[in-house]
Amino acid sequence: MHRWSQLFIPTLREAPADAEVASHKLLLRAGYIRQLGAGIYSHLFLGTRAINKIVAIVREEMDTIGQEMHLPALNPMEVWAESGRWASMGDTMFRLKDRKGAELCLAMTHEEIMTSIARSELRSYKQLPQIWYQIQTKFRDEPRPKSGLLRVRQFLMKDAYSFDIDEAGLDASYAKHEAVYRRIFTRCGLEFLVVEADSGAMGGTGSQEFMVSTDAGEDLIASSSSGYAANVEKATSKLAPVADLAPTGDGLPELVHTPNQKTIDEVGAFLGVERVYQMKTMAYMVEHADSDEKQIKTVGKTRAVVVFLRGDHQLNETKLAAIAGGELRPMQAEEIVATFNAPAGFLGPIGLTAAPHPKKPGTLVILDKALEGRTNLIAGANKEEYHLRNVTPMRDFKPTLVADVRSVNEGELDPIGGQPLRIAKAVEIGHIFKLGYKYSKSMGASVLNRDGKEMTPIMGSYGIGIERILTAAIEQSAAKFAAQSANDPKASDAYALPPSIAPFQVVVTITNVREPALLAAGEEIALALDQAGIDVLLDDRDERAGVKFKDAELIGVPFRIAVGKKLAEGKVELLDRLANRTTDIPVGEAVQQMQTALSLN
RNA sequence: CGGGGCGUAGCGCAGUCUGGUAGCGCACCUGGUUCGGGACCAGGGGGUCGGAGGUUCAAAUCCUCUCGCCCCGACCA
C-alpha cells in the first residue's frame, strides 16, 4: 500500500507559464511529469504508474494476436539505407556517429528491423502469418515539439508488423488489429473514432486512424451521423448539383477583358458571377524523393502540377501530394510563365499542354472531380488582363486526370449516408496501415509458397502512441469538467482518469491525521482495499483537509474515500469523480462499494 | 525553416524604457496558533539576473554575439 506521506508527488498550485493545453498543465501540476528539454520529458512516479497501466492493457490485448519483441533503438545506417529511408527521412531522424565514424540513427519506427529479421529467418509460407510487436521508445527530431506529451521527440510507441503470404492474409491481420485496437482504447476509457486516413504517397491499400476528439488535437476529422468518419486529408463529400451558366455567343470560349482583376473574388465581382461558376487555377511543383528513382527517370526530379478547382473550393494538399507522388511547393513566378506563358492572376487551362498520363513526362494537369461535367465556366485566359467565358472541361481542354483534390467543408453531405459533415479537431492515438510490399521488397524478404515458388510477404504496420492515450484521456475529461461548470474559472483544474489507467483507483483521504480515530479508520480501510486488490493511495499526510482534497482532485484519481466527521456515525464519504456523485457509506462496506463502483466502470 | 514572444529563487511574476546595495506572492525550514476545501502570526534559508564578450567609475538594465524554451504556419504515434 502506498502512503502519500512517503511518496514524491510534487504538485504545483500554479502551472509553469510554458504549458498551454490542459493536459500539459495538469500533468505538470499533478506531478506526473517534468520537462527536461523541448519535447523531452521525465515521467515521475504518478506518470510512470499511469503509463504502466496503459502498457499492461496494450500488452495483454496485443498478446491475443501477436508476439512481443524488444528491438534496438540504436540502428546502424545500412538497414535504413536499404529501405531508402535513410535518405527520405531527412531531418526528422536523429543521427549520430560512433567512435569509428560509422553512422547510426535512433529509430523512429521499426519496419526495417522487423523486416530484416523476417528476411533472415522466414523461409516458408508455413511460417506465416506472423504478427510481431514491441512497446518501445521512439525518437523523432520533430520540427516543432509542443503541447506537453502530445508532440514530443522521444515517446513510447506500441508498434506491430504483420507478415502474410497474400492480400487476403493481410486483410485478416489488419482486421485483427482493428478489433484489438477497439478493445484497447475502450478499456482505456476513451471515446474514440476510427477514421479513414491518407495512406501517403508511399502507396499502400488501406489505412485507418484511431482518433480522440479534442481541441488540443492537431488533426481535423470529418464525421456525420450516418457513421462516416474520415481524416480531412482523405474526406470526400457529396455536393449539391449546380445549374451551369447559360453559354454566351457561340458557346465556345470567349475572351473577356478583365484589367487588374486577378482573384476569384475580383473577377466574380467584375463580371457579376458567383464563385461556383468560376474555375480556380493552382500551380505547384512536385519534388520527388531521391529514393523514387523510377519516377525521377521518367518525369524528372521536379515537375509542374496544375490543378483546376471550383472557385469556392479549397485545395487539399495532402490529396494532391498523394496523387503527384512527392512533396509540393508553389510555383515561382518564372516557373508559372514557363508553364502557362502567362502571369499569375490570369492562369487557365486552355493552351496548357497536359501530360497524357501521370507516368508520362509533361505537366501533370488535374481537374478536381467537383468540376466534372460542368460547363460554361469562367477561367483565366493565360493572357494578361483577360479571362474566358464558356470554358467547358473535356471539350475545351483535357487534363491528365480527374481526381478528388479538394478539402471538404463543414455542412457538406457525407458520401455514404448523405448527412451533414461536422469537422472537429482530434488527436491520433493509433494508426493501422496496410503497408504492402514496400519494405519486404526493397529489403529482399521472401518465402517459398506451396508450389515452391519465391514469394514476397505482404506487410502491415500498426502503431499506438502510449503517452497520447494518457493525454487524450486527460483532455477528454478536462473538457467535460469544464463544460459542466462553464462559469467556474477553476474548472480547468478538474479532470479524472478512467480507473483502468489512473495511477491509483482510489485515494483514502484522512481529513485529520491528528485524530487517532480518523487515522486508525483510514489505515484500516486502505489496508482492506489493498488486500482486496484495489490500487489504493492512502493520504496520511499531516496537512489540512482542503489541501488534501485539492491534491486528490489534481492527480485525477477517479474515486476518493474521505474519512472525517461522519466517522462518528460510522460512515465515510465515497466520491465518484467521473459521475460527480458523493455517497455516505458505512465504514465496513468500503471494499464492497468500491468493488461495485469499479465493476461498473 | 519562416513569423512572434519569453529567459530574474523550485513555481508565478515585478524591476529593464530612464544604469547606482535584486524584490513580491506561493513553495521550503524553525517556533506557535489553527484543523472538511489550497490557514494565520513571528522568524529564517535560498538568486553566476540563460551564457560570452563589450561600453561605463558602476550593467538584470545599454550594445554585439550566442544558447535555451514557448506560441503561430509546412510533419506524425
Point out the least confidently predicted range of A29-38, A65-74, A291-300. Answer: A291-300
Percent helix / strand / coil, chain A, rounded to 5: 30, 30, 40
**pLDDT score of A48:** 97
Q: Are A351 and A258 found together in one domain?
A: yes
Q: Are A312 and A268 found together in one domain?
A: yes
Domain membership flag for residue A411: no
pLDDT at A369 over 60: yes
- State the CATH number of the domain containing residue A195: 3.30.930.10
Q: Are A295 and A153 found together in one domain?
A: no
Q: How confident is the model at residue A530 (pLDDT cuts 50, 70, 90)?
A: very high
Q: Are A198 and A297 found together in one domain?
A: no
pLDDT at A94 over 80: yes
> DSSP assignment of A336-371, as one string?
HHHHHSS-TTS--STT--B-SSTTSSSBEEEEEGGG
Could you count the other beta carbons within 10 Å of the beta carbon of residue A293?
Answer: 11
Query: Helix A167-187 to helix A45-62 angle, to the nearest 10 degrees?
Result: 140
Range of the structural domain that residue A543 is part of: 504-599
Residue-wise pLDDT for A142-160, tens only, equals 988 999 999 999 999 999 9
Q: Are A391 and A466 found together in one domain?
A: no
Instruction: Report the pLDDT averaged over residues A78-93.
Output: 88
Q: Does at least one atom of strand B sit less than 7 Å from the CB of A14?
A: yes
**pLDDT score of A359:** 86
**pLDDT score of A486:** 67
Domain membership flag for residue A82: no
Question: What is d(CA A223, CA A221) in angstroms, rounded to the nearest whole number?
Answer: 6
pTM beyond 0.90, yes or no: yes
Q: Are A437 and A360 found together in one domain?
A: no
Query: Helix A45-62 to helix A466-484 angle, to the nearest 10 degrees?
Result: 110
Q: Does at least one atom of strand B sit less than 7 Å from the CB of A467?
A: yes
- State the CATH number of the domain containing residue A517: 3.40.50.800
Specify which residues A390 forms β-bridges with. Answer: none
Domain membership flag for residue A394: yes
**pLDDT score of A296:** 81
Q: Does at least one atom of strand B sit less than 7 Å from the CB of A546?
A: yes
Instruction: Report the pLDDT averaged over residues A404-433.
Output: 93
Q: Does at least one atom of strand B sit less than 7 Å from the CB of A539?
A: no
Domain membership flag for residue A211: yes
Structural domains counted in chain A: 3
Residue-wise pLDDT for A102-130, tens only, equals 999 999 999 999 999 999 999 999 999 99
Å: A544 CA to B34 C1':
10
pLDDT at A372 over 60: yes
Residue of A269, A264, A262, A255 lying closest to A389 (CA atoms): A255
Greater confidence, A342 or A64? Answer: A64
Greater confidence, A426 or A601? Answer: A426
CA angle (A310 as vertex; A349, A373 as ends), nearest 5? 75
**pLDDT score of A204:** 58
pLDDT at A290 over 80: no
Q: Which of A10-24, A180-194, A339-353 ranks highest by mean pLDDT? A: A180-194
Å: A546 CA to B32 C1':
21
Q: Does at least one atom of strand B sit less than 7 Å from the CB of A155?
A: yes
Q: Are A202 and A337 found together in one domain?
A: no
Question: What is d(CA A554, CA A537) in angstroms, rounded to the nearest whole number?
Answer: 14
**pLDDT score of A201:** 46
Å: A18 CA to B20 C1':
34
Q: Are A226 and A294 found together in one domain?
A: no
Q: Does at least one atom of strand B sit less than 7 Å from the CB of A468?
A: yes
Instruction: Report the pLDDT averaged over residues A323-327.
Output: 82
Å: A507 CA to B16 C1':
47
Domain membership flag for residue A481: no
| Cell numbers for A331 | 510555383
Domain membership flag for residue A413: no
Average pLDDT value over all residues in chain A = 92
- State the CATH number of the domain containing residue A272: 3.90.960.10
**pLDDT score of A464:** 97
Q: Are A334 and A214 found together in one domain?
A: no
Q: Which amino acid type is present at position A563?
A: V
Residue-wise pLDDT for A180-231, tens only, equals 999 999 999 999 999 988 765 444 568 999 999 999 998 999 999 999 999 9
Q: Are A307 and A223 found together in one domain?
A: no
Domain membership flag for residue A196: yes
Question: What is d(CA A345, CA A274) in angstroms, rounded to the nearest whole number?
Answer: 17
Q: If you measure CA to C1', which residue is closest to nucleotide B36? A: A545
Q: How confident is the model at residue A441 (pLDDT cuts 50, 70, 90)?
A: very high
Q: Are A332 and A189 found together in one domain?
A: no
pLDDT at A473 over 80: yes
Q: Are A350 and A277 found together in one domain?
A: yes
Question: What is d(CA A347, CA A304) in angstroms, rounded to the nearest whole number?
Answer: 14
Å: A218 CA to B44 C1':
49
Residue-wise pLDDT for A33-58, tens only, equals 999 999 999 999 999 999 999 999 99
**pLDDT score of A287:** 82
Q: Does at least one atom of strand B sit less than 7 Å from the CB of A18?
A: yes
Q: Does at least one atom of strand B sit less than 7 Å from the CB of A13?
A: yes
**pLDDT score of A371:** 94
Question: What is d(CA A163, CA A161) in angstroms, rounded to the nearest whole number?
Answer: 7
Could you count the other beta carbons within 10 Å of the beta carbon of residue A551?
Answer: 21
Domain membership flag for residue A570: yes
Are residues A482 and A490 in contact, defined by beta-carbon separation less than 8 angstroms? no
Strand B near-CB residues (< 7 Å), A 365-424: none
Residue-wise pLDDT for A479-498, tens only, equals 999 888 766 544 556 899 99
SS3 category, A56: helix
Are residues A79 and A194 in contact, defined by beta-carbon separation less than 8 angstroms? no
